[in-house]
Chain A
Amino acid sequence: MQATIVQAVNDALHGEMERDDRVVVFGEDVAESGGVFRATDDLLEEFGNKRVVDTPLSEIAIVGGAAGMAMYGYRPVAEIQFSGFLPPAFDQLVTNASRIRWRTRGELSAPMVVRMPYGAGVRALEHHSESLEGAYGHIPGLKVVIPSTPADTKGLLTAAIRDPDPVLFMEPKRIYRSIRAEVPEGEHEVPIGEAAVRREGEDVTVVAWGSMMPPTLEAVDEGDIDAEVIDLRTISPMDTETIVESVKKTGRCVVVHEGPRTLGVGSEIVARINDEALMYLESPVERVTGFDTPVPLLSMEDFYFPHPPRVLDGIEAALAE
């Protein structure tokens, strides 16, 4: 089946709700109107208003409520309308969801998924455009997953719903509908915690994820570069091995991400390469990232995130030395 990312989200939800009647979907505007991006379209009609629920405008209650419901034995999949509205519920992630297993020595856990569209480029208002995966990746006990293709979206979301731990599922909304690709019908699970090698190459390793995959692939094509392109797919826990093995082969690396540079996920990747493959490096690892500024409002947001020429510039810098 050909599908977009947002359709793949819908497909995964359909599949898992059918398979497991403990799966409950809730959030602002998800039921009656099918979600502001229509990711939960038709679920209400199919599964009824006990399993597909419009919640009050309460991010704290949505995330904390999901944790409680999960402790009790359900499999909540909560939607946060835009990632910029997760911060009020940050406390529930840090204080409860991510720590329940640890706190009770495994007696209780919070197998829940929080889905949310993230990233700039859709001309939205303030707080709708941030890429804060670095901040969420910093929470022990929480898994952070970011797909970049329709097939992965279905597979990873399916895995997230089945996962015994809380998963934050960040959906690249800029490419929600711009990519249409083959998505496997029926059961399809992609393991959390494994990066994908999108393209094999010898000269340089480029690591990216989510909304940064299309500009990264475009840059590699544009520059006709023999790059090994890795789609990280999971921010936490991170697949160090795939990156390190690739860097050992290519000797060079560029990390591309949309979020701010300082204390970003790229910094961690550089550190892991230093730990495990420093002697293989032929040049310093380059970072091509968003800036340490708020994402500008829509009139200037295009300046913010890395476009192909900027990515290519980073790759050429890594290749230059």
Chain B
Amino acid sequence: MSDRASDIRVSPATGDDGGGEVRYLSQADLEVPTHQIVAPDGSYDDEAIPDLDDEELLDLYRWMVTDRVFSRRMVNIQRRGELGTFGSTRGQEASIIGSAFTLTPDDWLYVGRAWTPMFMRGASMEDMILFWRGIEEGQEAFAKVNAQIAISIGSHLPLVSGIAWGMHLDDADAIATAYLGDGATSTGAAHEGINLASSVGLPALFYCQNNQYAISMPYEKQSGANTIAQKALAYGIDAIRVDGQDVLAVYDAVSSAREKVLQGEPVFVESVTYRLDAHTTSDDPTRYRADEEVDHWESHDPIERYREFLKSEGLWAEIDHDAIVDEIETEFDEALAAANAMEERAVAEMFEYVYDELPPELVRQLDEFEDLLERRPEMYDFIEQRPKG
């Protein structure tokens, strides 16, 4: 970073290698390797295994299964009308868990599509159910563990750079992380956010899960760039491209990125993965993608690939898969029961937290409304308060 400015200033006078020929810098000049440790067939190089102890290796498996079971249960309760909408993460478990496993509780986390990382840092499944039921207390719970979900795609990247800026000013021993999708890399906010981190030198990690689709838009049409990782060069930061179906490679890549970020060098990570389910429960993916493609990715299941690795390492014997699933199902059942038990909330909650102190006009609107509800109880015929979805 240090000699960049002087390079720019001298460059007009040193254009000496052209020899009269116009030379383009093209994508073909750039080779972007994809980091992988465990191959799709389960083979791997012992030397490349990241430094994790057995317990941690088993944890990676448990969290991936958690992610899968959670998505399945959420889709199910959505179909029963108990949620508004839900975005499943099936297929992206390695990408999500391998990356989140590198973060500490002091690191800030702002996600697009990734829910289990919230549990990994202490939020509960109940909080996540509340969130997807459109109950404000969900985000409140995430905020308590330095995490948030962004619904306006890409809007969180400048925010994450701002958080990282604070960390930078504080000399904090932590980083701010934005999870984003391939679609998000087309937003103006993403460009400005990454550029800010680069220009100031902020401890921000941009973790892009390229799950190949932004609703119906395949990545090939999202951008003319061969890879998303290569875009980082234009911002002047480093990037890693990683096989997002390989949890160990993801862990390895992101922990190395995190080290660099801690030094105030933002890093961009492109994790190549696939969204197996619909974009959300309101989406119909058969309109825009072929069954063969989905089948192909079904056969690149990240959990199965990792299972092969665990077997080779002799760790599979330590795992009782069914017991893990049972445990997670029970946790989900309890979370759902707790979410269902949530009391009806008061109208005042709509007004609370808009400002630190309620301005007089809002006090007036609330009073008028409460009075109306009392005078005209028939209002409730039109109001369905729906914490249970």
Which residues does A use to contact B, with CB under 8 Å?
A: 28-29, 32-34, 36, 54, 56-61, 84-85, 88, 123-128, 261-262, 291-294, 296-304, 307-310, 312-313
Is A33 touching B183 in the complex (CB atoms < 8 A)?
A: no
Is A299 touching B385 in the complex (CB atoms < 8 A)?
A: yes
Q: Evaluate whether A33 and B349 lie within 8 angstroms (CB atoms) in the complex, with A57-B153, A297-B135 already known.
A: no
Q: Mark B185-206, 1 if CB is under 8 A from A, else 0.
A: 0111100000000000000000
Is A291 touching B386 in the complex (CB atoms < 8 A)?
A: no
Which B-chain residue is minimally distant from A297 (CB atoms)?
Answer: B134
Which B-chain residue is minimally distant from A218 (CB atoms)?
Answer: B382
**Quick check: is B287 within 8 A (CB to CB) of the other chain?**
yes
Q: Evaluate whether A299 and B386 lie within 8 angstroms (CB atoms) in the complex, with A32-B287, A57-B222 already known.
A: yes
- Complex: A308 Cα to B184 Cα, angstroms: 40
Give the total of B residues in contact with A, Cβ under 8 Å.
52
Given contacts A29-B215, A85-B152, A303-B347, 20 further A-B contacts (CB under 8 A): A32-B217, A34-B287, A57-B153, A57-B214, A57-B222, A58-B188, A88-B187, A124-B85, A291-B366, A292-B354, A292-B361, A296-B134, A299-B386, A299-B387, A300-B134, A300-B386, A302-B382, A302-B383, A309-B376, A310-B379
- Complex: A128 Cα to B387 Cα, angstroms: 18
Please, which residues of chain A bring their CB within 8 A of the CB of B381?
Answer: 309
Q: Mark B364-387, 1 if CB is under 8 A from A, else 0.
A: 011001001001101101111111
Please, which residues of chain B bring their CB within 8 A of the CB of A262?
Answer: 361
CB distance from B281 to the nearest CB of A (A): 11
Which residues does B use to contact A, with CB under 8 Å?
A: 84-85, 133-136, 151-155, 183-184, 186-189, 214-217, 221-223, 282-284, 287-288, 345, 347, 349-351, 354, 361-362, 365-366, 369, 372, 375-376, 378-379, 381-387
Which A-chain residue is minimally distant from B285 (CB atoms)?
Answer: A33
Is A293 touching B217 in the complex (CB atoms < 8 A)?
A: no
Q: Evaluate whether A125 and B134 lie within 8 angstroms (CB atoms) in the complex, with A33-B216, A88-B189 already known.
A: yes
CB distance from B5 to the nearest CB of A (A): 29
CB pairs A–B below 8 angstroms (22 shown): A32-B216, A36-B215, A36-B282, A56-B186, A57-B154, A57-B214, A58-B187, A61-B188, A88-B152, A123-B386, A125-B151, A291-B350, A291-B362, A291-B365, A293-B354, A297-B136, A299-B387, A300-B134, A300-B345, A300-B386, A302-B386, A313-B376
Please, which residues of chain B bring their CB within 8 A of the CB of A310?
Answer: 372, 376, 379
Is B152 touching A292 in the complex (CB atoms < 8 A)?
A: no
- A88, A128, A300, A302, most chain B CB atoms within 10 A: A300
Is A308 touching B382 in the complex (CB atoms < 8 A)?
A: yes
- Complex: A34 Cα to B216 Cα, angstroms: 10
Please, which residues of chain B bring their CB within 8 A of the CB of A302?
Answer: 382-386
CB distance from B35 to the nearest CB of A (A): 26
CB distance from A83 to the nearest CB of B (A): 12
Is B382 touching A57 in the complex (CB atoms < 8 A)?
A: no
Is A293 touching B350 in the complex (CB atoms < 8 A)?
A: yes
Is A123 touching B382 in the complex (CB atoms < 8 A)?
A: no
CB distance from B178 to the nearest CB of A (A): 15
CB distance from A49 to the nearest CB of B (A): 10
Which B-chain residue is minimally distant from A295 (CB atoms)?
Answer: B350
Contact of B383 among A32, A123, A125, A307 (CB under 8 A): A307
- Complex: A193 Cα to B216 Cα, angstroms: 36
Please, which residues of chain B bring their CB within 8 A of the CB of A127?
Answer: 151-152
Is A298 touching B282 in the complex (CB atoms < 8 A)?
A: no
Which A-chain residue is minimally distant from B224 (CB atoms)?
Answer: A56
Please, which residues of chain B bring their CB within 8 A of the CB of A85?
Answer: 152-153
Is B215 touching A88 in the complex (CB atoms < 8 A)?
A: no
Please, which residues of chain A bring their CB within 8 A of the CB of B354?
Answer: 292-294
- Complex: A44 Cα to B282 Cα, angstroms: 21
- Complex: A298 Cα to B82 Cα, angstroms: 12
Please, which residues of chain B bring their CB within 8 A of the CB of A58?
Answer: 186-188
